C-alpha cells in the first residue's frame, strides 16, 4: 500500500522516512504527484496545518497521506516564531536568515528556553484524519553551531545536552526530537492498521 508523505521539503522527507519505517508500506511523497499544487499553510496552529496537508493529499491522490507541521516556540518571544517558523525572516525561505533573526531578537533576553513541537496528521483517502503530537524542550544557543540537520537545528540545544541538534548524530537527534517522538507515536498507534491496507479508519 502506498502512503503519501505530504511534503516537498527533502530534509523533512528524509527524516520521516528514517523514523516512520513500515516495511509493508511503499512510502512516496508529494514529489511523486507534481500535478497537485502546494498546500497553502494558512492555519493558526500546527494541528490545523498538518490536517490540511494530509487531507488535501489523501483526497487528491486516493491514498492514505501523512503530514507534519512543526516549529520552534521561544518563551521570551511569546511563542514566536511558532507556525511561522519556516518563513520567520520572510521570503524566500532561508534557514540562515531565520537563525540570524532569531539570535538578534534574543540578543538581550535572559530567558532562552524554547521547544520544538510537531503535529503528525494521518488522513484516509476519504479525508478523515487523526493527529498525534511530539515536543522537545531546550534552549537557544548564543550562536549557530554544527553542520547537520536543517532549520533551527544549529541554534537549538535540547534539554540535558550541550550540543545543538546540528551537532548531534542523526540517530541521537531522532531519538529525542519532536518529530521523532511524534512519528514513533504515530507508528505505534497506526502502523499495524496501515499494514492491513484499510480503505478507511476502522469503526
**DSSP 8-class letter at 24:** T
Whole-angstrom CA distances from 171 to 21, 79, 148, 165, 177 are 14, 28, 12, 11, 10
What values do phi and psi take at 146, rounded to 5? 100, 155
Domains of the chain, by residue range, sit at 2-195
In this predicted structure, what is the pLDDT of residue 21? 82
Which residues on neighbouring strands pair with residue 66, listed in sequence order? Answer: 5, 122
Q: Which of 14, 32, 69, 111 is catalytic?
A: 69
Calpha distance 169→177 (Å, rounded): 12
- pTM score, whole prediction: 0.94
In this predicted structure, what is the pLDDT of residue 142? 97
In this predicted structure, what is the pLDDT of residue 23? 86
In this predicted structure, what is the pLDDT of residue 50? 98
User: Is CATH 3.40.50.12280 the right assignment for the domain spanning 2-195?
Assistant: no
69 is catalytic: yes
In this predicted structure, what is the pLDDT of residue 105? 97
**DSSP 8-class letter at 81:** B
The pLDDT averaged over each successive group of 10 residues in the chain (203 residues) is: 94 90 90 94 96 98 97 98 96 96 96 98 98 98 96 98 97 96 96 94 91
In this predicted structure, what is the pLDDT of residue 203? 82
Amino acid at each position: 500500500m502506498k502512503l503519501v508523505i505530504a511534503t516537498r521539503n527533502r530534509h523533512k522527507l528524509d527524516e520521516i522516512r528514517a523514523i516512520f519505517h513500515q516495511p509493508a508500506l511503499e512510502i512516496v511523497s508529494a514529489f511523486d504527484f507534481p500535478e497537485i499544487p502546494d498546500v497553502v499553510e494558512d492555519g493558526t496552529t500546527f494541528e490545523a496545518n498538518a490536517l490540511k496537508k494530509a487531507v488535501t493529499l489523501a483526497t487528491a491522490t486516493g491514498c492514505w497521506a501523512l503530514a507534519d507541521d512543526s516549529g520552534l516556540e521561544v518563551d521570551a518571544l511569546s511563542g514566536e516564531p511558532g507556525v511561522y517558523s519556516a518563513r520567520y525572516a520572510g521570503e524566500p525561505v532561508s534557514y540562515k536568515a531565520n537563525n540570524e533573526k532569531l539570535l538578534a531578537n534574543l540578543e538581550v533576553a535572559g530567558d532562552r528556553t524554547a521547544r520544538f513541537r510537531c503535529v503528525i496528521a494521518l488522513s484516509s483517502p476519504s479525508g478523515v484524519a487523526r493527529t498525534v503530537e511530539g515536543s522537545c524542550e531546550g534552549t537557544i544557543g548564543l550562536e549557530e553551531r554544527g553542520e547537520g540537520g536543517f532549520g533551527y537545528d544549529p541554534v537549538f540545544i535540547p534539554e540535558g545536552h550541550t550540543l545543538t541538534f546540528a551537532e548531534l548524530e542523526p540517530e541521537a537527534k531522532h531519538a529525542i526530537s519532536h518529530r521523532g517522538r511524534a512519528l514513533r507515536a504515530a507508528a505505534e498507534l497506526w502502523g499495524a492498521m496501515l499494514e492491513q491496507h484499510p480503505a478507511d479508519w476502522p469503526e
